[in-house]
């Protein structure tokens, strides 16, 4: 486990081909090994895209356009003049994630230990 910023940096240095200057997370999921540049939010997005069996989709109440993120839906509905969106009352469905890569036994929490 990498519990300090220093050991996290060290972890990157120990990986061949990883430059010290690049801050990011090597995904610890077997078979993935994606190098996610950036911090927690970016990695979380990677995790949601690849390592959650189901992905949530939010639907526009007017035209049924589907978005993975509420923020994207919020941006979308500004195109509908006069439509006021209650983000707490948006229709949400869980759909099977076609890109799913089983992270077992790693969880998002243990994966994040690599960074923090
Ligand atoms: Zn991954
Ligand atoms: Zn719409």
Q: How does pLDDT run across 9-46, given as a tens digit for each residue?
A: 555 555 555 445 568 888 999 999 899 988 888 999 99
Report, as an integer, the average pLDDT of 77-102.
Answer: 92
User: Length of the chain, please?
Assistant: 116
Query: Cα-Cα-Cα-Cα dihedral of 14, 20, 23, 27, to 10°?
Result: -20
pLDDT at 5 over 70: no
- Residue 46's pLDDT is 94
Q: What is the per-residue pLDDT across 45-87, written as a single tens digit (0 to 9) for each?
A: 999 899 999 998 999 999 999 998 899 999 999 999 999 888 8
Assign 112 a pLDDT band (cuts: 50, 70, 90). Answer: confident
Q: Which ligand approaches the C-alpha of residue 103 most closely?
A: 1
Centre of ligand 2 from the C-alpha of residue 65, in Å: 5
Centre of ligand 1 from the C-alpha of residue 27, in Å: 5
SS3 call for 112: helix
Q: Which of 52, 62, 65, 63 is nearest to 94 (CA)?
A: 52
Centre of ligand 1 from the C-alpha of residue 64, in Å: 30
Q: Which of 73, 106, 72 is nearest to 91 (CA)?
A: 73
Helix ranges (H only) for 1-116 are: 5-14, 40-50, 70-77, 108-112
- Residue 85's pLDDT is 87
pLDDT at 102 over 80: yes
- Residue 19's pLDDT is 47
Assign 94 a pLDDT band (cuts: 50, 70, 90). Answer: very high
Sign of CA pseudo-dihedral 36, 116, 23, 73: positive
Cα 20 off chain centre by: 23
């Amino acid at each position: 486990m990498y519990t300090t910023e220093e050991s996290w940096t060290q972890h990157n240095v120990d990986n061949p081909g990883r430059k010290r200057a690049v801050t990011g997370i090597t995904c610890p999921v077997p078979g993935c090994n994606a190098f996610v540049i950036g911090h927690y939010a970016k990695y979380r997005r990677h995790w949601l895209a690849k390592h959650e069996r189901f992905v949530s989709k939010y639907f526009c109440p007017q035209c049924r356009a589907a978005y993975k993120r509420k923020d994207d839906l919020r941006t979308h509905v500004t195109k509908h003049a006069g439509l006021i969106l209650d983000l707490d009352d948006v229709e949400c469905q869980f759909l099977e994630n076609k890109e799913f890569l089983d992270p077992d036994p790693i969880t998002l929490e243990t994966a994040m230990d690599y960074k923090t």
